[in-house]
């Protein structure tokens, strides 16, 4: 059996009072719980505004989509602001397939 | 999309192009995806299918890991057969994850719970089905 090592990285930062979680790699059942926990910890402890950067997302399945939808719902229920930096290329087609892209708070990222 | 109670016999070609036996843990979907992507490279399968194939394999293996109900030490099997026109995949586990009289409760993906994975399968696969002859086997076909 292949040994893949870790297939993702999660980085968190706070900039000007806004939280930023950068997800790099593959979002599935192995990584989705950590993304959810990191994101919720940030809005609990650090900020009322959270950007999840998905520009380096290389794969997502329903486990990952479910976490993004749950975070959207948590933001609405708890009164914090969530935005997502749009992924690129092939991954975007998975969002389109579910029409989740119509229901998630994607923004264009002005950062270089 | 056609859904059938049991797949055609040819779903288990011998020899298959790829057979995997996976430990039932959270890493299993990533291992399965890497293997099918590698197979796509080897067989020069077109540019849009590897991503769809990886997605559906990920969904079925995740289902087997999370919902199987079988003892945790029973592995998940993935079988991939590629013909000139079709890629066929079957994912089998020892449990009864779908239960008797399974009918897909397909919901809009705005809802965080529910069978989002099956919604994806139904949208993306040309045909798919479930049978319980030996454990739970979920299969699908994509055009190559």
List C-alpha distances in Å: A32 to A39, A71, A94. Answer: 11, 11, 16
Give, to the nearest 10 degrees, the angle between helix A62-78 and helix A32-45: 20
Tell how far CA A25 is from the center of its chain. Answer: 11
| B123 membership: H or E segment, kind and range | helix B116-124
Q: Distance between CA atoms of A82 and A106, rounded to whole angstroms? A: 9
Q: Distance between CA atoms of B118 and A83, rounded to whole angstroms? A: 27
* β-bridge mates for residue B138, sequence order: B91, B130
pLDDT at A73: 94
Q: Read off the pLDDT band of A15 (50, 70, 90).
A: confident
Other residues' Cβ atoms within 10 Å of the Cβ of residue B116: 24
Q: Read off the pLDDT band of B32 (50, 70, 90).
A: very high
Q: Do B113 and A66 touch (CB under 8 A)?
A: yes
| B35 membership: H or E segment, kind and range | helix B28-43
Q: Distance between CA atoms of A39 and B81, rounded to whole angstroms? A: 40
Q: Do A69 and B33 touch (CB under 8 A)?
A: no
Instruction: Show the DSSP H helices in B44-114 as ranges.
Output: 49-67
Q: Do B117 and A69 touch (CB under 8 A)?
A: no
| Res. A9: pLDDT tops 90 | yes
Give the residue numbers in A contacting B (CB under 8 Å), as ranges. Answer: 1-2, 4, 7, 26, 28-30, 59, 61-63, 65-66, 69-70, 73, 90-91, 93-94, 97-100, 103
Please give the structure tokens belonging to residue B44. Answer: 């020069």
DSSP sequence for A8-76? EEEEEEEETTEEEEEEEEEESTTTHHHHHHHHHHHHHHT-SEEEEEEEEEEEE-HHHHHHHHHHHHHHH
Residue entry with tokens 């900020």: A47
pLDDT at B48: 67
Q: Which residue of B has its CA nearest to A60?
A: B55
Q: Work out the mean pLDDT of chain B and round it to a whole number.
A: 80
Mean pLDDT of A26-44: 96
| B43 membership: H or E segment, kind and range | helix B28-43
Q: Do B109 and A65 touch (CB under 8 A)?
A: yes
pLDDT at B15: 61
Please give the structure tokens belonging to residue A41. Answer: 């910890």
Q: What are the strands, taking DSSP E only, across chain B?
A: 2-4, 18-22, 76-82, 86-93, 127-131, 136-143
All residues of chain A having their beta carbon less than 8 Å from the beta carbon of residue B65 are: 29
pLDDT at B106: 47
pLDDT at B81: 93
pLDDT tens figures, A51-61: 999 999 999 99
Q: Read off the pLDDT band of A3 (50, 70, 90).
A: low
B133 vs B55, higher pLDDT? B55
Mean pLDDT of A3-25: 90
Mean pLDDT is highest, among A8-17, A19-28, A103-112, B110-119, for A19-28
pLDDT at B56: 96
pLDDT at B98: 59
């Amino acid at each position: 059996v292949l040994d893949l090592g870790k297939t993702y990285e999660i980085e968190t930062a706070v900039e000007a009072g806004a939280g930023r979680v950068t997800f790099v790699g593959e979002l599935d059942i192995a990584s989705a719980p950590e993304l959810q926990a990191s994101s919720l910890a940030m809005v609990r402890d650090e900020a009322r505004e959270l950007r999840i950067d998905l520009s380096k997302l290389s794969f997502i399945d329903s486990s990952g989509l479910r976490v993004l939808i749950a975070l959207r719902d948590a933001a609405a229920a708890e009164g914090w602001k969530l935005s997502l930096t749009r992924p690129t290329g092939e991954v975007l087609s998975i969002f389109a397939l579910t029409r989740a892209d119509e229901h998630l708070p994607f923004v264009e990222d002005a950062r270089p | 999309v056609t859904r059938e109670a049991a797949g055609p016999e040819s779903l288990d070609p011998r020899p298959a192009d790829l057979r995997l036996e996976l430990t039932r843990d959270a890493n299993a979907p990533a291992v399965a995806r890497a293997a099918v992507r590698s197979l796509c490279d080897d067989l020069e399968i077109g540019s849009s299918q590897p991503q769809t194939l990886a997605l559906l394999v990920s969904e079925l293996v995740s289902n087997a890991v999370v919902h199987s109900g079988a003892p945790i030490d029973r592995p998940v099997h993935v079988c991939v057969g590629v013909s000139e026109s079709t890629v066929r995949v079957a994912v089998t586990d020892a449990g009864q994850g779908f239960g008797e009289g399974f009918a897909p409760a397909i919901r809009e993906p705005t809802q965080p719970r529910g069978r989002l994975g099956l919604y994806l399968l139904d949208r993306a696969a040309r045909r798919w089905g479930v049978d319980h002859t030996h454990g739970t086997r979920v299969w699908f076909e994509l055009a190559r």
